[in-house]
Amino acid sequence: MTLGALRVGGSMASYNVKALGVYNEHLDQVGDTLLVEDGIIKGPGTASYAKDINVEGYVTPAFVDAHLHISWLGLALRGVDLTKAQSPEALARSLARSRGEIAYGRGWDQERFRPRGALPSRRLLDQYVPGRPSIAVRTCGHMAVLNTLALETTGVHRMFPGLVDPETGVAKEDAVFAAVELLFEKVDLTSMVRKALVEVRKNGIAGVSSMACPVGEARALAALERRGDLGVRVACYPREHHLEAAASLLGDGRMARVVGVKDFADGSLGARTAYLGEDYNDDPGNRGLRLLDSRDIVGLARRVLDKGLRLAIHAIGDAAIEHVIEAYEEVGIGEGGRIEHASIAPPKLIERLAGLDSFVVVQPHFRVSDWWVEDRLGQERARWAYPFKTMARAGVKLALSTDAPVETLDPLETIRAAESRCVEPACRAEEALSRKEVFYYYTRASALASGGPVAGLGSLEKGSPAELIWFREDPASSSELGPPMWVLGN
């Protein structure tokens, strides 16, 4: 089925949903019938419309992904997948198969290379992918290698001398984001963004927060909204320097608009740029990168809140999280603030996170991808990685997300990781969320954390948009769920 105007934001139709069970966002059964009038939920009750939709399964509100990257996802779908590359040479060979005037690939991890930790280089890409700009982005998105043409086209080595090694072509942090934006600035992103949104919807997800959404993405979202072809509600969180342009493009769109600003307090664990309180276990002398301190964050928060927007700060290392907490406490930001990732959270920080009343937006699948977490942190600190249950018990306002394309968009994989049904060191049984917690954090909580056009999702309350999915298996009792399906089809 197409993602036509009718389906966008829920069909305007009126109907009775009849199912084996209807569950709300807490996975409490509210009955077996749900009434929908003009695309809006009226609540449980006796069938009162001419049309019945019979579902051979269990209905729930659709998922909301509170942190992903729409245009990066579109690029990843268009570019080559480098997740399987086992050496820099294999990476370069795969990248050469990328189509289009810019060779783009994503997903490599030097920990999977032989020899382990070897990095690809500018010269290697020059050799395998000559004649066009080429860039291979690491799985975390915080590190990339560029060939000579890509360096020359973008000039990122001059713009970010501390973040790009012009000799090796390896770029980190802002230099990566800028390189991708500059390379694709003249490419029309509309069809790529639409492809990404189709993929999102296919996974039973009705709304998202698109983090660090660049101006080109805002332009594409605005174009899709104008032609009624968006399919997914989008809360955009651009960087501050893109705020004005993105906000004027999106205006007060019904389905997609700017809700807040995103910035980074540190980098990633994989790239050893996450800012830690003590040295990396596998890189003595390195504590990562502090990109913002609490002073910077206080200033940014005041500017953003003044405009009636929210602030979302990326913080992975414990020291970075502490800076965000300090700033948020000082400003009294409450629900106007979000913390993205909060990956390495020792107990003393969890208490303070709970006291903030800000959403903490986590990515369960990091538990699987960070299989080397004990190498980076040592066993002692690795116990602080992804402590979702401890956070939930302490009263931290959690919301779930995938960070796609950093991790898979697949909600089933995300649920499995959230429930610690995985084997990597960070999948600790004592930190498993219950199924009920997972559903709440992945529907209503992630809608509230997203805000704006997404805020009304994730609920069966009267007046909510009828964005409904169903499972063949009973989600309250079945450990292995099959893929979610849309009650009205895609």
Q: Looking at 55-63, 283-291, 343-351, 403-411, which segment touches Zn ion (CB under 5 A)?
A: 403-411
Residue 152, classified by CB atoms within 10 Å of its CB into exposed (0-12), middle (13-18) or buried (19+), is exposed
Closer CB to Zn ion, residue 36 or residue 313? Answer: 313
Closer CB to Zn ion, residue 211 or residue 230? Answer: 211
Q: To the nearest whole angstrom, how small is the minimum distance from the Cβ of residue 231 to Zn ion?
A: 21
Q: To the nearest whole angstrom, how small is the minimum distance from the Cβ of residue 71 to Zn ion?
A: 12
Closer CB to Zn ion, residue 322 or residue 403? Answer: 403
Packing angle of the helix pair 70-78, 190-202 (nearest 10 deg)? 100
Pairwise CA distance, residues 413 & 133, whole Å: 34
Q: To the nearest whole angstrom, how small is the minimum distance from the Cβ of residue 141 to Zn ion?
A: 7
Closer CB to Zn ion, residue 134 or residue 210? Answer: 210
The footprint of Zn ion on residues 292-331 (CB under 5 A) is none
Q: Does 403 participate in binding Zn ion (rule CB under 5 A)?
A: yes
The single-letter DSSP state of residue 403 is: -
Closer CB to Zn ion, residue 35 or residue 211? Answer: 211
Neighbours of 346 (CB within 10 A): 15
Q: To the nearest whole angstrom, how small is the minimum distance from the Cβ of residue 270 to Zn ion?
A: 13
Position of minimal CB gap to Zn ion: 403
Closer CB to Zn ion, residue 176 or residue 468? Answer: 176
Which residues neighbour 372 within 8 Å (Cβ) at sequence distance 6 or greater?
111
Q: To the nearest whole angstrom, how small is the minimum distance from the Cβ of residue 250 to Zn ion?
A: 20
Closer CB to Zn ion, residue 83 or residue 87? Answer: 83
Kindly write out the interface string for residues 199-238 of this chain, putting x where it contacts Zn ion by CB under 5 A and - elsewhere: ------------x---------------------------
Which of 330, 332, 324 shows the shortest CA–CA distance to 361?
A: 324
Q: To the nearest whole angstrom, how small is the minimum distance from the Cβ of residue 248 to Zn ion?
A: 24
The beta strand positions in 4-102, using DSSP E, are 15-23, 29-37, 40-43, 52-54, 58-61, 63-68, 80-81
Pairwise CA distance, residues 427 & 420, whole Å: 5
Q: Does 263 participate in binding Zn ion (rule CB under 5 A)?
A: no
Q: Is the dihedral of CA 390, 288, 168, 100 positive or negative?
A: positive
Pairwise CA distance, residues 273 & 449, whole Å: 26
Site residues (vs Zn ion, CB under 5 A): 211, 403
